[in-house]
Amino acid sequence: MSIEENFNRAFNLPDSLRGKNIVSEKIIPTVCSVKIMLDKLREKAGEYANLEQWEKRSYKNYNIEEIKNQLILADEEERIGLLRKHILENDFSYLGASPFDIYIVAYVAENIGPGKTTFINFCFDNGMAGTENSANAIYQVGKGDGIYLKLLNKDGTVKDWNFFRQWIRINEEEPQTVEEEAKIKIYNKLVRDYIPEIIMKSGKNCIVSKANNEEKFSKLKNKLTEEVQEFMEAENLEELADVMEVLFALANSLGYSEDDLMSMRAKKREARGGFEEGIILEKVYEK
């Protein structure tokens, strides 16, 4: 798993999305992918009446009417971006089954296992589809639309964890009780790249964000103060290594490599020496 994937994931997919619970929903399958529908819509100059019935169902599921004119004028990448934004900005009182199919495919692939057979069995076990054809239609449309929108990998697992994090968080409720609030620890500090994955493997969830360059540099300076203080208290090699890691990261933020930093250290050492002798400069005065 890459560092970017570690950053993006940091949570498990819950069994509900914006008030819709996966296992309690009877899904009406759609047999038309969003890409086919959008291509046909452009071909028909945006005329909904000229779409086939299965294309109209996809149109309604994504509530295309709200962004139809933008989609018709957009190129392929732009319309993918428009549709992704549209999904995040709307709940399921406006959206139909197709976007939810994407989430169900991701949920099953990530929490149970990827593959059509696993998905169909899940649908049967939870009463989501009455026939194998219905379950297969949900899988094919959900996976196909998810791949087209760059949300899913080819096996149905999540490709864009950051999108799913936003999709889920928008509808999260704030803690309602003191006990619930007590379970949440607020850090708001820079951490090492693998920390979110380590937290997730421990059975907990976390919310992360990614700093821009300016914020990262500021957070690194704060981190340096934190790590130096921890070394002052512990006086051990581990804390000293943490200080060095922050120094390398600061150098990188300034556009320098670890070798650049070590080279500058060597030059200064050669010109002015190190600190091995323990020399204390007490006073300087004119001769």
The pLDDT value recorded for residue 29 is 66
Residues 147 and 221 in one domain: no
Which residues, listed in sequence order, are joined to residue 131 by a DSSP beta bridge? none
> Quick check: is 180 in a domain?
no
Question: Whole-angstrom distance between the N-terminal and C-terminal Cα of the chain?
Answer: 65
pLDDT surpassing 60 at residue 147: yes
Question: What would the pLDDT profile of 66-79 be if each residue is shown by its tens digit?
Answer: 899 999 888 999 99
Q: Judge whether 195 and 7 are in contact, CB under 8 Å.
A: no
Task: Please give the Cα distance from 258 to 211 (Å, whole number).
Answer: 21
The pLDDT value recorded for residue 173 is 47
Domain membership of residue 155 as a residue range = 3-168
The pLDDT value recorded for residue 96 is 86
Question: What would the pLDDT profile of 204-240 be if each residue is shown by its tens digit?
Answer: 777 777 888 888 999 999 999 999 999 999 999 999 9
Strands (E), the chain: 16-17, 20-21
- Secondary structure in 3-state letters for 62-96: CCHHHHHHHHHHCCHHHHHHHHHHHHHHCCCCCCC
Which one of 168, 192, 222 terminates a domain?
168
Report the range of poorest mean pLDDT among 153-157, 209-213, 236-240, 246-250. Answer: 209-213
Which residues, listed in sequence order, are joined to residue 20 by a DSSP beta bridge? 17
> Quick check: is 189 in a domain?
no
Helix (H, G, I), strand (E, B) or coil at 14: coil
Residues 154 and 58 in one domain: yes
Residues 68 and 154 in one domain: yes
Cβ atoms within 10 A of the Cβ of 282, count?
A: 5
Angle, helix 132-148 to helix 116-125, in steps of 10 degrees = 130
Report the range of poorest mean pLDDT among 110-124, 179-193, 246-260. Answer: 179-193
Which one of 136, 168, 200 terminates a domain?
168
Name the nearest CA neighbour of 159 among 205, 114, 199, 210.
Answer: 114
Dihedral Cα 253, 3, 149, 85, nearest 10 deg? -50
Mean pLDDT across 30-49: 90
pLDDT surpassing 50 at residue 3: no
Report the range of poorest mean pLDDT among 39-53, 89-103, 152-166, 250-264. Answer: 89-103
Residues 45 and 125 in one domain: yes
Report the range of poorest mean pLDDT among 116-120, 149-153, 210-214, 221-225. Answer: 210-214
User: Which residue is it, tokens 């949920």?
Assistant: 107
Residues 248 and 149 in one domain: no
The pLDDT value recorded for residue 102 is 95
Residues 52 and 140 in one domain: yes
pLDDT surpassing 90 at residue 94: no
Residues 150 and 14 in one domain: yes
> Quick check: is 174 in a domain?
no
Q: Kind and range of the H or E element at 16? A: strand 16-17
Residues 116 and 246 in one domain: no
Task: Please give the Cα distance from 14 to 37 (Å, whole number).
Answer: 29
pLDDT surpassing 50 at residue 12: yes
Q: Kind and range of the H or E element at 20? A: strand 20-21
> Quick check: is 193 in a domain?
no
pLDDT surpassing 50 at residue 6: no
Question: What would the pLDDT profile of 181-190 be if each residue is shown by its tens digit?
Answer: 556 677 778 9
Q: How many domains does the chain have?
A: 2
> Quick check: is 283 in a domain?
no
Which one of 136, 151, 168 terminates a domain?
168
Residues 6+ apart with CB under 8 A from 191: none
- Average pLDDT over the chain reads 86
pTM of the model: 0.60
The pLDDT value recorded for residue 221 is 93
Q: Residue 69: exposed, middle, or buried by beta-carbon count in 10 A (0-12, 13-18, 19+)?
A: exposed
Of 229 and 1, the structure prediction assigns the larger pLDDT to 229
The pLDDT value recorded for residue 83 is 93
Which residues, listed in sequence order, are joined to residue 152 by a DSSP beta bridge? 158
Name the nearest CA neighbour of 231 among 246, 241, 245, 216.
Answer: 241
Name the nearest CA neighbour of 210 among 222, 193, 230.
Answer: 193
Q: Judge whether 220 and 250 are in contact, CB under 8 Å.
A: yes
User: Backbone phi, then psi, for 49, in 5-degree steps?
Assistant: -60, -20
Of 173 and 116, the structure prediction assigns the larger pLDDT to 116
pLDDT surpassing 50 at residue 170: no
Q: What angle do CA 241, 245, 251 make, to 5 degrees?
A: 140
Task: Please give the Cα distance from 195 to 175 (Å, whole number).
Answer: 24
